[in-house]
Amino acid sequence: MQQFTILIIFCWSLLFSYNSHAINGISIMANEDLLHQPNTQKTIDDCIRLLQQACNCPVDANNREQEILLQLPTEVIPAADSLSSYIKDNITYLAYPAQDYTWRSVRQGNQIILTLDAQSYEAISFGLYGLLQEQLGFGFYHAKETYIPALNFWNLTEKLEWEVTPRFNKRGFHIHTMHPLEMTEPLLNPDCPNGITLVKEYIDWLARNQQNYLEFNLLETDELERWTAYIKPAMLYAQQRGIMVALDISLHMTQQKAFMLYQSFPNTLQGKKKQIEANLDKLFEVPWNLISMEFSATEFTEGNVKKKQALELYINDLITNKYNSRLYGREHVVKKENTLGKAKEELVLTSDQALLDATRGMFVHTVMFYGLRDEKAPVYENPNLLHMLDILKEEKKTREVWYFPESAYWVTFDNSVPMLLLPYLQTRLDDILLMDTLGIEGHLTFSSGWEWGYWAIDWSIARWSWKSKFNGQEIVPGAITFIGRILQNSEATNLLKQAADLQQEYIKDKELIRYLVAQTITDELPWGLSMEFHPRPPQAYPYMARKASQTTIDEWYTNAINPLKELHEKTVVILEQMKQDFEWTEQQAAIWEELRLGIEITNLRVAHKIQTLQYLLQKRVQKLNKDIPESDAEQYLFAAQEIRKNALEVVRLQEKSYRYPYNWIAEKIEGGGSTSYDFGYLYTVSNLHFWEREEEQIKQNKYGALFRNIWDVARIGGIVD
C-alpha cells in the first residue's frame, strides 16, 4: 500500500507551559503537481488563507525559512477514473478513492514534526481540513460563516497518533429544492443573482467538512439546455473538489413541480422512451455521477408495477452504459399497504430485475426527528420506523444501500412554525452510530433549511460521519460536542444540553410534539382523506370543540396541558441562565444568541399552545355547562395573542441574523420562484401564520383545510401549473 507523507514542522519557543508554544511561521511545501491538481491546490490555498487569519505569524507556500513546514508528497495516485464502480459479492458499488488518514507527531530538537499518512488526493484534502477543524479549533459550521480560532500557540501534545476513518464511504447532503430554501434559486434559476458563487460557497462547505456527495432536486423547466449550461461549471467545480454530484429527478412524478422524464397525452404525442432518452441526453451535458430517481407519481402511490419495472430496466441501461453514471432510487416511509393506489401487478423477479437490484442503489428514507429504533414515530401512517430498519438490513444483502434521514422537516413541523427541535441532534447521532455498526455504505442527509439553528444539525451530522482514535483512545462524540467546541464555555454548553434533554423528555418521549406542530392539509381534510403525515393529537381539534366529553377534556389536561406547563416552566429557568453575560468573542455571542432565540421561540410556542388549548377546551366546557361565563374562555385567547406578539419580537431579532436575502426566504416571491410555493420557507415565520390561524380556528369554530389556507394545493399536487 502506497502511503503519502505530509510533514508539518513546527518551530516554537517555550512561553507559558510545557505544551503551549508560540507559533512563529508556517509554510506549505508542495511540488508543482500538487499545486496544480485541482482538489489539493484548492485545499492548500484555502488552508493557507485560514491559517493566516488564525495565526499572528507569516503563512505561505514553499518557504523553507519558515519555522513551520508542511511538506507534501511528490508521488500521488492519478485522479483519473477515481469515481467509477466496482463489484463485490455480485453487488455494484459506486467507488470512491481511499479516505482514511493518520496524523503522527514527534519532537526533534526545537521542532515538532507532524506526518500525515494518506492514500489519495482526496485523503490529503480530508486530512488537512480534519486537522484544522478537529485539532486546531476551526469551525466550518456554515457555508457563509467560519469560526477562526486565535491560533497563537501550539497546544497539541508533542507525541500523538490520530487515526481518522469515515463511517461511510459516501456521505453528503440532499438539498430539497422542491422547497423554497436558501439554495433553491441559486441551484435552479439561471437568473439568480450571484447564483453560481453561492453554490460554490456551499460546495466549499462540503469540502471543508470532508463530505463527498451533493444532490438536489431538478424541477420542471422550459429552458433545460440553458439550465444545464448554467449549473455545469458549479458541478465540475464540485467534482474537482472530490465531491460526487447527483440529480434527483422523477420518471413521471406529479407533485411539487418535479422534473419528469416523460410527459403524457395531451401534452405530447411522442413515445415515452424517446422522451426519456432525449431528456437524459440534455441532462448529461453535465457529467452527473449519480441519478436519483422517483418512479412513482407521488409518495403515497404505487402505480403499475410491471410497466414501471420495464422502464426502470430501460433507464438503468441508458444511465449505466450510455452516460457512465449510476441509478439510485429511494424507499419511502409509507408502507406498501398504506399506498393510495395499490399496485396493479405484483413485481416479477426476473433475471433482469435481479440484475437491476444489484446495480441500482437504494436510499432508505426516514423523516423528521425520529430514529430507526424509536418506539414511537407516528408519521406517514406508521406507529414507528422499525419497518424501515428491516428494509435497510434486507436490501443491503442485494444492493448498495444508503441511509437517508432528515435534519429538518419544513412543512408545518419545525422551522416553519418556528421551533428549534434539539432532539434531532441525539436522534441523528444514534442512527449514525447504528449505521456504522451495520456497515451501511452511505449516509445522505435530507436538508430543508438552515436558519433558526438548523445549520447546527447539518454541521454536526457532517462531523459525526467521521470517527477517530487519539493515541489509541476512541473519541466518542456527544449530541452537542461540536457546538460546544465553538462556544468554548462549559457552563453555556451545559445549559444547551439541559435544554436538549428537556425537549427530548417532553417534546419527543412524552409526545408533546403532537400538539406543538401546526396542522397540515391532510390533518384537516374530511374523514377518509385525513392521512397522518406528522404527529397529531389523539382526537382532532374539531372533535374537541364540538363533541368532547368532560372525561376527554380532563385527559387532555393530564396528557397535554399539564406536561406542557412543566416543560415551559423548566425551560424558563434555563433561558434565564442563558441570558447571563458570558465571556464571548463577537462571533460566539452571535451563535449563542441565535441558539438561545431558537430555544426561546420554541418555549413561546409551548406557552402559546397552552393558552390556545385551554381556550379550545374551555369553550367546549361552556357548552357542557351553561352556567360558566364566556369570559372564562376569552382570557385564554387574550393570553395567546399577547404571547404571539412577544414571539413576533423574537422573530424580528432573529431575522437580523438571516444569512441569505430576506426576500428569498421570508417573503412572498414575485413571480412564484422555481418551486410550487410562492413564498420563501420562512414566510410563515415572519408573521407567525400558524399561531394566529390556530387562534382564529378556535374563535370562529372553523377547522377545514381551506380556512386561512396559504397552500396552492392544485399547484403543489401538479393538477395545474
pLDDT tens digits for range 616-632: 999 999 999 988 887 78
H or E, element range at 473: strand 473-474
CATH number of the domain located at residue range(s) 170-479 in this protein: 3.20.20.80
Confidence band for 268, pLDDT divided at 50, 70 and 90 = low
Please enumerate in sequence order all residues whose Cβ is within 8 A of that of 76, keeping only pairs 6 or more positions apart, or say none.
Answer: 4, 33, 34, 37, 120, 121, 124
Grid cell of 639 as nine digits: 393570553
Confidence band for 716, pLDDT divided at 50, 70 and 90 = confident
Residue 266 pLDDT: 64
**Average pLDDT rounded to a whole number, residues 217-230:** 95
Q: Where are the chain's structural domains? A: 4-163, 170-479, 493-656+688-716
Confidence band for 15, pLDDT divided at 50, 70 and 90 = very low
Residue 86 pLDDT: 86
Q: Residue 186 to residues 189, 448, 449: CA-CA distances in angstroms?
A: 6, 15, 14
State the Cα–Cα distance between residues 198 and 234, nearest whole angstrom. 10
Q: Given its phi and psi angles, is residue 511 left (phi above 0), alpha (psi -120 to 50 degrees) or beta?
A: left
Residue 8 pLDDT: 34
Residue 408 pLDDT: 97
Residue 479 pLDDT: 93
Residue 300 pLDDT: 47
For the stretch 16-25, pLDDT in tens is: 233 456 778 8
**Average pLDDT rounded to a whole number, residues 526-532:** 77
State the Cα–Cα distance between residues 69 and 62, nearest whole angstrom. 8
Which of 514-518, 531-535, 537-541 shows the lowest per-residue confidence on average (mean pLDDT)?
531-535
Residue 457 pLDDT: 98
To the nearest 5 percent, what fractions of the chain are helix, strand and coil? Answer: 45, 15, 40
Residue 333 pLDDT: 86
**Is residue 6 over pLDDT 50?**
no
Beta-ladder partners of 172: 213, 444
**Average pLDDT rounded to a whole number, residues 27-40:** 82
Confidence band for 171, pLDDT divided at 50, 70 and 90 = very high
For the stretch 607-617, pLDDT in tens is: 999 999 999 99
pLDDT: which is higher, 504 or 531: 504
Residue 297 pLDDT: 58
Residue 24 pLDDT: 81
Q: What is the CA radius of gyration of the chain?
A: 27
**Average pLDDT rounded to a whole number, residues 173-178:** 97
H or E, element range at 649: helix 631-655
Grid cell of 383 as nine digits: 406507529
Residue 271 pLDDT: 81
**Is residue 244 over pLDDT 90?**
yes
* DSSP code at position 260: B
What torsion, rounded to 10 degrees, do the Cα atoms 468, 474, 477, 478 define? Answer: 180
Mean pLDDT across the chain = 88
